[in-house]
Structure 1
Amino acid sequence: MSKVLLIDNQSMTRFATRVLLEREDYEVAGETDSGVEGLSLARSLRPDLVILDIAIPKLDGLEVLGRLSAMDSNLKLLVLTSLPASLYANRCLQAGATGYLSKQEPAVSLISAVRSVLSGYSLFPSTVYLPVSNQPGERNDNQLLDSLSDRELAVLQNLASGKNNKEIAEQLFISHKTVSTYKSRLMDKLKTRNQVDLIDFARRYALPTT
C-alpha cells in the first residue's frame, strides 16, 4: 500500500483528498497545513507520494517542493493547487514536481493523477512543454511574469491578497526591509509605477490570494 503525505493549508481540501485516497486503498500517513512541518513529516514518515499545494504559509511552496525533491529522488511530488498552470506549472517542473493538477479538476482526475505518478509517469499541462513565442524587441505581460524569480512571484501574490509588508515578511520568513526590496524589483521588472499598479497587474492575471 502506497503511503501519501498531504500538505495543504485548506482543511476541507485535505479532508476531501484523504477520503478519496483511502477509498482507493491508499494510506494517508500524515497531513499538515505548513510547509515547514511538511518537510519534517516527509523525513519521518518517508511517504511514497506527497500531494501539496504550493500556496501554503510559513515557507514558500516552491521552496518546499525543491527541498522535498532534494530529500529523496524517488519521492513522487504531485502539486494540487488553484494557482494558474500558465504561471506555475513550469516552475514546479523545474523544482522537481512529478505532476501538476488544478483543484478545479474532478475527483476522478486526482485519482488518475495519483496512479500515474506512482507508476512513474509525469503529469503536466501540455503548455508547459511549448516554447513561448517572442517578437523581437517586445516583451508581453506573460513574459514579464516569467522573468520573475519564485520569491518575487510569491511576494506579488501576497500583495494581490492585500497583505502589508509585515504580513508578507511573516508569511515568507524574510525581513520587512527585504519585502520592500522585492517590491522595488517587481515595479522595475513589471514596468509599474507603484504598489497599486502592481496589485492591479497581479489581479489582471488572476493570481489567487492565499
Structure 2
Amino acid sequence: MISVLLVDDAPLLRMGFRMVLEAQPDVAVVGEAGDGAEAVALAAELRPDVVLMDVRMPGVDGIEATARISAAQLPSRVLILTTFDLDEYAFAALRAGAAGFLLKNAHPADLIAGIRTVAAGDGVVAPRITRQLIEAFARQTDPAATAAGPRADERLERLERLTDREREVLVEIARGQSNAEIAETLHLSEATVKTHVSRILPKLELRDRVQAVVFAYEIGLVAAGSQPGAER
C-alpha cells in the first residue's frame, strides 16, 4: 500500500482527493493537514510514502513545509499541487526537495499515476505541462550566478563523473524528454537509456529526475529554450 498525507487548506479539495485516492486498491490516505506546520508534524508522526502538498496556504506554506520535511530526512516524498502550470511558487519547492508537480485539475488517472511514480522513487517529469514548468524554472535561474556560487566546484566535480554519453542523456532529461524520447533522439534503445539514468543519478548524488533537471539548469548545462537534440 502507498500511504498518502493530504495537505491543502481547502477541506472540500481534501475530501475530493481522498475519494479519488481511496478508490484505488494500492493507496491509503493516512492523514490530512490544513497548513504547512501541521503537514510537517504529521509527516514526522505518520511517515507517509507521499505527501500531496498544496503550495499556497496561510501560515507555513507548501514551500517551507517541503523544505522542513526534506531537512528532517523523513522517508516521505513530496508531490506539489499547483493551481497554475506556471506557478512561480512551485519552482522554489523543487529546490526545497519536492519530487514533482501535479495540477489540481489533473485527470484522476494522472493524479494516481503521479503518486505511484513518486512512491516508486522517481520524479514526475516529462508531460507537456512539465516542459512548460521546466522552461519557466530555467528563466528564473541565473546560471552565471549559480556557477559562481559556493557549491560550484562541488557541482562541477560531480558533473565530471559522467561519461560523454551520460552527459548527453542528462541534457535530454533536463529538456523534459521521457526515456522513449531520449532513446529516439540519441539513437539508443530505451533499455540503454534506463541504464544510463540509473547510473547518472547516483554519480550526481541526486534522488530523482526532478533533481537532475534542477542540477542541469543551475549548473548551466542547459539553457532556457533549447530544443531536444540541439547542439551542445
TM-score by length of 1: 0.58
Residue 111 of structure 1 pairs with residue 112 of structure 2: yes
Q: For structure 2, which runs of at least 5 residues remain unmatched after alignment?
A: 142-232
Aligned position for 1:38: 39
CA RMSD of aligned residues (A): 2.1
* Pairwise CA distance, 1:4: 0.9
Give, as a single letter, the amino acid of the residue that structure 2 aligns with 1:14: R
Equivalent residue for 1:132, pick from 139, 161, 164 = 139
Aligned position for 2:171: none
Q: Is the 8 A contact 1:54 1:61 kept in 2?
A: yes
Q: Is the 8 A contact 2:44 2:74 kept in 1?
A: no
Between 7-16 and 73-82, the greater mean CA deviation after superposition = 73-82
Q: For structure 1, which runs of at least 5 residues remain unmatched after alignment?
A: 135-210
SS in 1 for 2:81: strand
Aligned position for 1:28: 29
* Pairwise CA distance, 1:85: 2.6
TM-score by length of 2: 0.53
Distance 1:24 1:129, change over 3 A: same
- How many residues align? The count is 134
Distance 1:46 1:126, change over 3 A: same
SS in 2 for 1:51: strand
Identity of paired residues, percent?
A: 34
Between 106-115 and 67-76, the greater mean CA deviation after superposition = 67-76
Give, as a single letter, the amino acid of the residue that structure 2 aligns with 1:129: I
Give, as a single letter, the amino acid of the residue that structure 2 aligns with 1:3: S
After superposition, the C-alpha distances for 1:83-132 in whole angstroms (9 at most, x for unaligned) are: 44352332221111001111122211111111111112211412343443
